[in-house]
Amino acid sequence: MSAEPDTDKEPDFPHWPGDWPGRRFVNLDCVGDPGDWLDLELSSVEEVLSADPQEDESMAEPLADAYIRAGEDLGFPLPTDSGVTREKMREVAVSDFIGFIREWRKRAEAAGCFTPEAVSQRNSIPTWELLPRLGFVPDPQVISDLLPGLSCNFGNLKLAASCVMNLRFREVVMFTGVLQEERTISGVSFELPRHVESSEQGVAWIVWGLDQAAAGHTFKPKIPVPWFEEGRQHRNTLPWERERAAYAARPQCSVSREWARLALKTLAKHLAKVEDDATVTFRFDGELLSIRCAGKVTAVSADGDPWSQTYSITARLLRHLPRRLAMPQVTVSIWDRALTIGRRLYRGVVAIEQDKHQ
């Protein structure tokens, strides 16, 4: 007779990431045995990886504090050694561990430990169930796949909410109405997914949709609504706002056009002497942008925050370097596994941990 499966046992999750996009200074190798350290600091890997992404910061904070304590106890390098304030160090450490959790979660999803849809469904809030808490009431005049439809009267706008299939064949909650302002009358139309990550995100999304339709992009309801300011305060929970913040925090530096032109000419000469599969690396320490090709290093002065990682790309992908640099300052940046030099983009970038490169 076969033994029954142990349903309380955690799934076999992929190995924790030693590196992840956006990492600034956290290096888990410094704590000794990272696996033992994580086992000590995390109550449950499954609980962390399957949690609502909105909770990532609250889970990252104790990890950041524990990492800083370990640095002070073991004496490994911390940003405060270079004059960074303790508050800034903790802020960056929390950001690093948020990235760590999200990268680990992404790997777990890719390994099939759980599907993103299942996690999203478990941790999300049905948009339709949120609306009555915001003052939406049943309205028989609103056509909806789920009956009855809902509406909310703001005094200068009756906003209807319908569960429908949009033109891209996705199930959404559609919001429509006619906004009457002092000098204008305009149509309102926007949609939300059937599930949102949190009530804060749902409120922020509705307020954003109304703001987009209003004059000056600020909707002013005639009937006071207490959750409007809350929605604006949580605008950073919106997917595109999070993406914008991540893009702004990407590894980047600025090089003067004269220095950039000289560096690119030198790099082109080095590239002409190597095979297509040769590795070219880019590294920025906060003062110098260093480009290594076939053992030759081209270094130029640059401005920006230091990169936590070195990035590599094969020579074949860099054969067509920019010849004309239009701007006085040339930005070199990494985003979405691509290197950007000025206006030219090169895909196929791979991150390398600093200590492994050195």
Flag whether the pTM goes above 0.75. no
First to last CA, the chain: 56
> What pLDDT shows up at residue 189?
96
Query: Could you give the CA distance from residue 282 to residue 313 in angstroms, rounded to a whole number?
Result: 9
Percent of the chain with pLDDT over 70: 92
Q: Is 307 exposed, middle or buried (0-12, 13-18, 19+ CB in 10 A)?
A: buried
Name the band, by pLDDT with cuts 50, 70 and 90, for residue 167.
Answer: confident
What average pLDDT does the segment 294-317 reach? 93
The yes-or-no verdict on residue 174 having pLDDT over 60 is yes
Name the band, by pLDDT with cuts 50, 70 and 90, for residue 123.
Answer: low
Residues ≥6 apart with Cβ < 8 Å to 152: 131, 134, 135, 136, 137, 158, 159, 161
Higher-pLDDT residue of 2 and 124 is 124
Name the band, by pLDDT with cuts 50, 70 and 90, for residue 22.
Answer: confident
Domain 252-357 bears CATH identifier 3.60.150.10: no
185-193 and 171-180 strand pairing: antiparallel
What average pLDDT does the segment 318-322 reach? 92
Name the DSSP class of 75. -
Query: Could you give the CA distance from residue 323 to residue 286 in angstroms, rounded to a whole number?
Result: 26
> What pLDDT shows up at residue 8?
44
Higher-pLDDT residue of 114 and 159 is 159
> What pLDDT shows up at residue 352?
80
Tokens 């559609």 locate to 174
The yes-or-no verdict on residue 239 having pLDDT over 60 is yes
Mean of the per-residue pLDDT values of the chain: 88
Percent of the chain with pLDDT over 90: 65
> What pLDDT shows up at residue 6?
42
> What pLDDT shows up at residue 4?
41
What the block records as the tokens of 127 is 């948009």
Domain boundaries, the chain: 28-123, 125-241, 252-357
338-341 and 137-138 strand pairing: unpaired
The yes-or-no verdict on residue 15 having pLDDT over 70 is yes
Residue ranges in the chain assigned as alpha helix (H): 34-41, 45-49, 56-74, 86-110, 116-123, 127-130, 199-213, 227-233, 239-248, 257-271, 354-357
Sign of CA dihedral 27, 33, 34, 37: negative
Tokens 């290594």 locate to 292
DSSP string for residues in 222-243:
SS--THHHHHHHTGGGSHHHHH
Tokens 């701007």 locate to 327
Give the other-Cβ count within 10 Å of 236's Cβ: 12
Name the band, by pLDDT with cuts 50, 70 and 90, for residue 358.
Answer: very low
pLDDT (tens digit, 9 = 90+) per residue, 70-120?
999 999 989 988 888 999 999 999 999 999 999 998 888 888 776 555 555
pLDDT (tens digit, 9 = 90+) per residue, 195-222?
998 999 999 999 999 999 998 889 999 9
What average pLDDT does the segment 156-180 reach? 94
Query: Could you give the CA distance from residue 152 to residue 192 in angstroms, rounded to a whole number?
Result: 16
